Amino acid sequence: MKIAGITVNDRDVPLWAMAASAIALLVALGSQYLGGVAPCKLCLWQRLPHGAVIVIGVGALLWFREPRERLFLTWLAAIAFAVGAGIALYHVGVEQHWFAGPSSCSGDSGLNSAQSIDELRRMLLAAPVVRCDEIPWSLFGLSIATWNALACTVLSAFCGVAGWRQLKEKSA
């Protein structure tokens, strides 16, 4: 497969996927610790599939080198990226107020159910500071969650095409 003038061997796609996920996590951690953009609960959830793809890539790098194993890892990476795209799209929907997010990060934490001032104080102190339904930063009018949804969708398709090509190559 040739992308932007770079020839990518289909069997090496788990390694490329690992690199892309590592970059995504480094950007997320950099924006958090260097840029001061605190993540919400859904932002943290979006990091999990990238972590899984890194583990898949490490497996491809260190142990699983046979064609059948690489095919499995390629499809596993495609599925992980698809899950990541789903989580990111859910977050975009929460940000756009298309539907309600988790009550713990969308402002609907049940504070009205407090029976006393002390209970309300405890609930307020336990409430997360970062809300999932607010966009803390955007680029070209697109939130971080939107960019992650786009990236995960493209990477899932990239891994899926490579997996499909490996299947065709195997059957030929």
> Which of 4-13, 77-86, 156-165 is least confident?
4-13
Task: Calculate mean pLDDT across residues 127-151.
Answer: 81
The CA distance from 95 to 132, in Å, is: 7
Question: pTM of the prediction?
Answer: 0.79
Asked if residue 71 lies in contact with residue 171, where contact means CB atoms within 8 angstroms, the answer is no
Please give the pLDDT value at position 169: 78
Question: Bridge-partner residues for 143, per DSSP?
Answer: 138
Q: Quick one: pLDDT band at residue 2, thresholds 50, 70, 90?
A: low
Q: Is the pLDDT of residue 14 over 80?
A: yes
Place of tokens 């491809």: 60
Asked if residue 104 lies in contact with residue 129, where contact means CB atoms within 8 angstroms, the answer is no
- HEC string of the chain equals CEECCEECCHHHHHHHHHHHHHHHHHHHHHHHHCCCCCCCHHHHHHHHHHHHHHHHHHHHHHCCCCHHHHHHHHHHHHHHHHHHHHHHHHHHHHHCCCCCCCCCCCCCCCHHHCCCHHHHHHHHHHCCCCCCCCCCCEECCEEHHHHHHHHHHHHHHHHHHHHHHHHHHHHC
Task: Calculate mean pLDDT across residues 116-136.
Answer: 72
Task: Calculate mean pLDDT across residues 156-161.
Answer: 93
Q: What is the token pair recorded at 7?
A: 């020839």
Counting residues of the chain whose pLDDT is more than 70, the rounded percentage is 83
Please give the pLDDT value at position 131: 73
Q: Is the pLDDT of residue 157 over 90?
A: yes
Task: Calculate mean pLDDT across residues 111-117.
Answer: 66
Q: Which domains does the chain have, with CATH numbers?
A: 2-171 (1.20.1550)
pLDDT in tens, 51-78: 999 999 998 888 877 878 888 999 999 9
The CA distance from 65 to 71, in Å, is: 10
Q: Quick one: pLDDT band at residue 37, thresholds 50, 70, 90?
A: confident
